[in-house]
Amino acid sequence: MEKLSILSGHLLEAAFITYLLGIILFTWSAAKQRHGLTERIAWGVTAAGWIAQLGFFILRWVYSGHAPVSNLFEFMTFFGMMLILVLLIMYRFYRYPLLAVMALVISILIIGCAAMFPREVAPLVPSLQSHWLYIHVTTAALGEAVLAVSFFAGFLYILHETDQEKQHKRVWLIEAIIVLILSVAGYMLLAISFRTFGYTASVMTADASIIYQLPPVFVPSDMVSSPFPFGISVPDWMRGENAALKLNTIFLSLLSGCVLYILIRFFTRKRIGAALQPLVRRMPKDMLDDIGYRSVAVGFPIFTLGALIFAMIWAQQAWDRFWGWDPKEVWALITWLFYAAYLHIRMLKGWQGIRSAWLAVIGFCIIMFNLLAVNLLIVGLHAYA
């Protein structure tokens, strides 16, 4: 049995590496004027990676005795897997390698971040022992993955439509989104390197000791001692649970994102948006706009069913109330209301195209916020919080 668990871990690593290969192949295929063989190989490689991840999922299920969607690590890897599944299916209808690249990049970042959370197989507390939990979580993740496609299409649309010759807000907003994505990558790289060297720093406060996995640049205002000499004490009003630790993680992620950004700029010698634009330019923009809307049209019902209806059925059984205004629930509601607004606003004159694309970007930010930030910044009663 023990072997099963180890094998399952290796399969996830294999999937991760295969997805990386998929990114390279799809990018290559996008750069070539005509796609054909490379594109098919890229699809096949990605599919192989997905099969490996499916293997990880099934083995972990067999080993732990419950569907592995019950803590943050498991949920995030599952979400990454759904993104790839949606990509593989969508690619049969819309063969645009850049969409695939976007999906793979985001999926890899999510799976990479997932690995930073505790990976042990955990037993289920009574409230989580319900089939409705599995049904709810898997459907919600699938819905979010379909909705994410509107972000991929929207982001490409924005890249396509933005005049990089002029300096205006939009150009810099694109760069800001890229820095954000790079920050996630930066966080992953930082966390992996410090973990490899076994780094931890324990900061003592008046009544507790806080273990940092990264150098403690920001420390609580009531710090007594820290192994890191350049600590900045957070303002007195930041007293929430582990506020300094969280600020520290966010700061270091953004910092590493900026460093990565500058490094890339050093090689490209122009704004990253401008460097990417030639790749995107050949895509038909009306098609991108259509794909964006279509993915919301398809994803919205799935999301509603999974994240709201199934969630409520489960909550009613487990906690005797189907709705409890828990932060994770509330942000699912916000996501839902926002995409409802997207569907309506698109009907208004002048809101198709670039404005819809921006809405899709905001929508995806809300999904990501609910996936990561609510767990890290706002404490709720969800198992993953």
Partner 1 sequence: MQKCSSCKHENNLDSEECQQCGSTLKGKLDMRYEGAHRRSQQRNQTLIDKVWRFFASVRNGMYILLLTVLATALGTILPQQIYIPIGRLPQEFYKSEYGVFGSLYHNLGFDQLYSSWWYMTLLGLLGASILIASIDRFFPLYRALKLQPVKRKEHFLRRQLYVRNKEISDPERLLSHIGGKRYRIRQDGDTYLAEKNRFARWGPYVNHIGLLLVLLAAFLRLFSFFYQDEFVWIRDGETAVVPDTNQSLFIKNKQFSVDTYDVDDPKFEAAIEQEGRTIPKSFSTDIIVYEAENHIAGDTPDLKVLKQMQVSVNHPVKAAGFTIYQSGYQLNEFSGLTLRAENEDGITADFQVDTEDPKVEYELANGLHAKLVDYYPDYQLNGDTIITATKYPRNPAFVFDISEGDMTERLFISIDEVVSETGSNKYNIKAVDYDTHNVTGLSVKRDLTLPVFLLGGLIFMMGLIQGLYWQHRRIWLHRQADGTYLIAGHTNKHASSFEREMDRILDVYDKRERG
Where does residue 374 rank: exposed (0-12), middle (13-18), buried (19+ CB within 10 A)? buried
Considering only 34, 166, 196, 320, the residue that binds partner 1 (CB under 8 A) is: 320
Q: Which stretch binds partner 1 (CB under 8 A): 100-108, 114-122, 246-254, 256-264?
A: 114-122
Shortest distance, CB of residue 185 to partner 1, whole angstroms?
27
Considering only 47, 48, 51, 127, the residue that binds partner 1 (CB under 8 A) is: 127
Can residue 297 be called a binding residue for partner 1 (CB under 8 A)? Answer: yes
Can residue 208 be called a binding residue for ligand HEM (CB under 6 A)? Answer: no
Shortest distance, CB of residue 122 to partner 1, whole angstroms?
4
Binding positions for ligand HEM, 321-340, rule CB under 6 A: 337, 340
Can residue 325 be called a binding residue for partner 1 (CB under 8 A)? Answer: yes
Cα(104)–Cα(84) distance, integer angstroms: 7
User: 152-177: b or e for each residue (b if 16 or more CB lie within 10 Å)?
Assistant: bbbbbbbbbbbebeeeeebbeebbeb
Shortest distance, CB of residue 236 to partner 1, whole angstroms?
7
State the binding partner of 326 from partner 1, ligand HEM, none, CB within 5 to 8 A by kind. Answer: partner 1
User: What is residue 201's three-state secondary structure?
Assistant: strand
Cα(53)–Cα(11) distance, integer angstroms: 6
Q: Considering CB under 8 A, how many residues would be counted as binding partner 1?
A: 60
Can residue 345 be called a binding residue for ligand HEM (CB under 6 A)? Answer: no
Which residue lies nearer to partner 1 by CB, 26 or 342? Answer: 342
| Residue 212: CB atoms within 10 Å | 23
Distance of CA 245 to the CA centre of its chain: 21
**Distant-in-sequence, close-in-space partners of 35: CB < 8 Å, separation ≥ 6:** 29, 95, 97
Considering only 344, 345, 362, 381, the residue that binds ligand HEM (CB under 6 A) is: 344
Encoded one letter per residue, x for contact with partner 1 by CB under 8 A and - for no contact, window 210-229 reads --------------------
Listing DSSP states for 86-110 in one string gives HHHHHHHH---HHHHHHHHHHHHHH
The continuous run of DSSP H or E covering 211 comes out as strand 209-212
Binding positions for partner 1, 138-197, rule CB under 8 A: none
Can residue 365 be called a binding residue for partner 1 (CB under 8 A)? Answer: no
**Distant-in-sequence, close-in-space partners of 65: CB < 8 Å, separation ≥ 6:** none
Residue ranges in contact with ligand HEM by CB under 6 A: 337, 340, 343-344
